[in-house]
């Protein structure tokens, strides 16, 4: 039986017993404190005791940013094949990574053709290098230069409309140009205009490099492996830093039980945190840990990390856990019952388990709870994305916990992540562990089959509805599933589509736009549903009568829509 909700809230929000914590702190960094294989563009030597971005004197600021080419005197297809400007900033100096501008004999002249590079941030630039096809770093210098840029001009600016001339070369004889500006300029966009095209030979460029004096736009520091001395329940990560406006700091973490990361280690935490003091989702308990910090800037300044401290608890909530769900395969968009099982290994010193939280990828019903095969008394709170379960008696011994769930899986991989909570460790729940097979965690439901449509099971309830303010049936809930037919190519349904929900009168006039944005695969049911309150776009109550509610989703090859008649009465 379920206890009443008041008892549940008392359990959740009462004060908890204090518990001791330990931490690992970094305040200085050197070559021995870094995982060099996973660290790039970070400087810990210039300012002692601080992590900051490296400067860009020897780093190509244009690499893998964005570029396009405009052909001035010739009608050509858009950037395809040998006309794809992105090949100029991919770090590859060999064929087929090049751009070709045809000679005069091949048709109307291409003088005035220009290439624009977006550095995607304001950078302090003082040097540009252009490579002809055949030349490459450390390669021969005696190859013919007949494919060179004959004459060119370099412009720069904060936008593409107001650019200043930085360099003009009226006659070039080199296969690799290397132009230093008279001064360092702060620009985001760079334009290179091809001023002269040869009569016979095409101009072929394999790479363009841009260098500067400021900080690099992004860098990653990965710590060496930290040892807590025993398996622990990792808590939160704190840091102290200088962070000028326009700069970014974010952290990830991973854990394991071996001194060197291997296949038994967890992946890097799915979500990085930008908030000092946040708890990172990693598997627990684990003895070893690594953290990774990303520094970024959209300005000429850099963030500077001064201290990193990771907290943990030696007293555990469970010695080990293993979560799984059955059945693990289920037809997509078909309601089904599932058994969520957690094998819990406890010791006498562990904190008691007061609460279990199961995060649900789709709104889920809780049908019952068992402990060691027997139904137990519990309380619960159910949200659209999680279920909180509070057993009547805390779990203090090795046990098998089971939750009977009912839901409609709609993703390719539906992950049911769970946590164990104890009032004696209220701020630090312990993430439940799970085994992997073929890269898929055992707490995941994999869907089979392909949804016949993008919009599934569209309903409007209640219908009719009475928006008269009496508190009864004042709104109608619009519920449906938005499928992702492209899955399981994308495991978590990350593809976005344009989704719109409109209300029309019977003459086809738009009355209300309820939603107009992008969405991935989702279950818009229960607390995730949309609502119409009977008001028009100006906030006025509509007249009684029938209205058309239409859901429209734009896919790659077609636009799909469904509609229902919804009646307003008073």
Q: 249 and 358: one domain?
A: no
Determine the Cα–Cα distance for residues 330 and 410; give it in Å rounded to an integer.
10
H or E stretch covering 9: helix 5-13
Determine the Cα–Cα distance for residues 303 and 41; give it in Å rounded to an integer.
13
Q: 84 and 109: one domain?
A: yes
- The answer to the question of residue 7 being in a domain is no
- The answer to the question of residue 301 being in a domain is yes
> Per-10-residue mean pLDDT for the chain, 570 residues long?
44 44 92 91 93 88 92 62 84 89 73 92 93 88 88 96 95 95 93 91 93 89 97 96 95 96 89 88 94 92 96 96 96 91 97 97 94 97 94 97 94 92 94 88 88 84 92 92 58 66 93 90 84 94 94 78 92
Q: 95 and 183: one domain?
A: yes
Model pTM score: 0.67
Q: 171 and 229: one domain?
A: no
Q: 110 and 173: one domain?
A: yes
Alpha helices, H only, 30-69: none
CATH code for the domain of 77: 2.60.120.260
Domain span holding position 471: 455-568
Q: 391 and 442: one domain?
A: yes
Q: Residue 365: what are its φ and ψ, rounded to 5°?
A: -95, 145
pLDDT of residue 488: 40
Q: 164 and 231: one domain?
A: no
- The answer to the question of residue 392 being in a domain is yes
Q: 207 and 293: one domain?
A: no
User: Can you point out the beta strands (E) in 27-139?
Assistant: 42-43, 51-53, 66-70, 99-101, 114-132
Q: Residue 90: what are its φ and ψ, rounded to 5°?
A: -100, 5
Determine the Cα–Cα distance for residues 222 and 261; give it in Å rounded to an integer.
13
CATH code for the domain of 535: 2.60.40.1930
- The answer to the question of residue 3 being in a domain is no
Give the number of other Cβ atoms within 10 Å of residue 558's Cβ.
9
H or E stretch covering 363: none
Determine the Cα–Cα distance for residues 403 and 413; give it in Å rounded to an integer.
19
Place of tokens 């086809």: 508
> Which residue, of 197, 212, 227, is where some domain finishes?
212
pLDDT of residue 21: 80
Q: 154 and 33: one domain?
A: no
- The answer to the question of residue 233 being in a domain is yes
pLDDT of residue 437: 82
Apex 263 CA angle, 399 and 316, nearest 5: 35
* Count: domains in the chain: 4
pLDDT of residue 336: 95
Pairing between β-strand 365-371 and β-strand 374-375 as defined by DSSP bridges: antiparallel
Determine the Cα–Cα distance for residues 222 and 35; give it in Å rounded to an integer.
5
Q: 322 and 378: one domain?
A: yes
Q: 71 and 200: one domain?
A: yes
Q: How many CA atoms lie within 13 A of 466 on its CB side?
A: 7
Q: Specify the DSSP class assigned to residue 147.
A: T
pLDDT of residue 559: 80
CATH code for the domain of 262: 2.60.120
> Which residue, of 159, 193, 212, is where some domain finishes?
212
3-state secondary structure 330-363: EECCCCEEEEEEEEEECCCCCCCECEEEEECCCC
Q: 442 and 322: one domain?
A: yes
pLDDT of residue 76: 60
């Amino acid at each position: 039986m379920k206890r009443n909700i008041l008892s549940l809230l008392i359990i959740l929000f009462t004060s908890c017993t204090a518990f001791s914590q330990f931490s690992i702190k970094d305040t200085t960094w050197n070559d021995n404190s870094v995982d060099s294989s996973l660290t790039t563009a970070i400087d810990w030597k210039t300012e002692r005791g601080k992590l900051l971005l490296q400067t860009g004197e020897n780093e190509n600021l244009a690499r893998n940013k964005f570029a396009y080419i405009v052909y001035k005197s010739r009608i050509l297809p858009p950037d395809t094949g040998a006309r794809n400007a992105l090949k100029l900033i991919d770090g590859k100096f060999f064929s087929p990574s090049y751009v070709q501008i045809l000679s005069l004999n091949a048709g109307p002249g291409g003088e005035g053709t220009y290439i624009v590079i977006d550095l995607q941030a304001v950078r302090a630039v003082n040097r540009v290098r252009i490579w002809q096809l055949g030349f490459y770093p450390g390669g021969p210098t005696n190859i013919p230069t007949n494919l060179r840029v004959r004459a060119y001009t370099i412009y720069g600016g904060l936008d593409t409309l107001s650019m200043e001339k930085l360099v003009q070369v009226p006659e070039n004889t080199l296969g690799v140009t290397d132009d230093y500006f008279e001064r360092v300029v702060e620009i985001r966009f760079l334009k290179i205009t091809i001023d002269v095209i040869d009569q016979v030979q095409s101009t072929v460029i394999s790479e363009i490099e841009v260098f500067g004096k400021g900080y690099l736009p992004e860098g990653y520091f990965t710590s060496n492996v930290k040892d807590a001395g025993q398996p622990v329940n990792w808590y939160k990560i704190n840091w102290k830093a200088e962070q000028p406006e326009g700069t970014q700091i974010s952290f990830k973490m991973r854990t394991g039980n071996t001194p060197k990361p291997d296949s038994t280690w967890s992946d890097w935490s799915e979500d990085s945190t930008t908030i000092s003091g946040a708890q990172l989702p990693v598997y627990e308990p684990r003895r070893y840990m690594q953290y990774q910090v990303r520094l970024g800037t959209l300005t000429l300044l850099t963030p500077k990390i001064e201290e990193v401290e990771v907290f943990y608890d030696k007293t555990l909530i469970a010695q080990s856990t293993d979560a799984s769900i059955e059945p693990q395969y289920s037809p997509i968009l078909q309601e089904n019952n599932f058994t969520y099982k957690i094998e819990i290994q406890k010791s006498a010193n562990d904190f008691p388990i007061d609460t279990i939280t199961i995060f649900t990828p789709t709104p889920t019903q809780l049908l019952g709870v068992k402990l060691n095969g027997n139904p137990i008394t519990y309380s619960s709170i159910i949200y659209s994305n999680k279920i909180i379960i509070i057993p009547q008696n805390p779990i203090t011994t090795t046990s098998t916990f089971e939750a009977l769930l009912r839901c409609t899986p709609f993703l390719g991989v539906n992950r049911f992540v769970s946590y164990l909570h104890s009032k004696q460790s209220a701020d630090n729940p312990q993430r439940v562990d799970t085994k992997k097979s073929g890269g898929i965690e055992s707490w995941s439901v994999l869907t089979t089959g392909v949804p016949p449509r993008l919009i599934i099971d569209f309903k409007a309830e209640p219908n009719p509805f009475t928006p008269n303010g009496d508190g009864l049936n004042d709104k109608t809930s619009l519920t449906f599933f938005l499928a992702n037919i492209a899955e399981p190519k994308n495991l978590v349904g990350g593809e976005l589509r344009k989704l719109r929900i409109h209300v029309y009168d019977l003459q086809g006039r738009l009355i209300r736009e309820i939603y107009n944005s992008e969405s991935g695969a989702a279950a818009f049911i229960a607390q995730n549903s949309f609502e119409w309150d009977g008001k028009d776009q100006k906030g006025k109550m509509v007249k009684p009568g029938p209205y058309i509610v239409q859901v429209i989703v734009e896919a790659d090859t077609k636009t799909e829509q469904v509609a229902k008649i919804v009646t307003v009465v008073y």
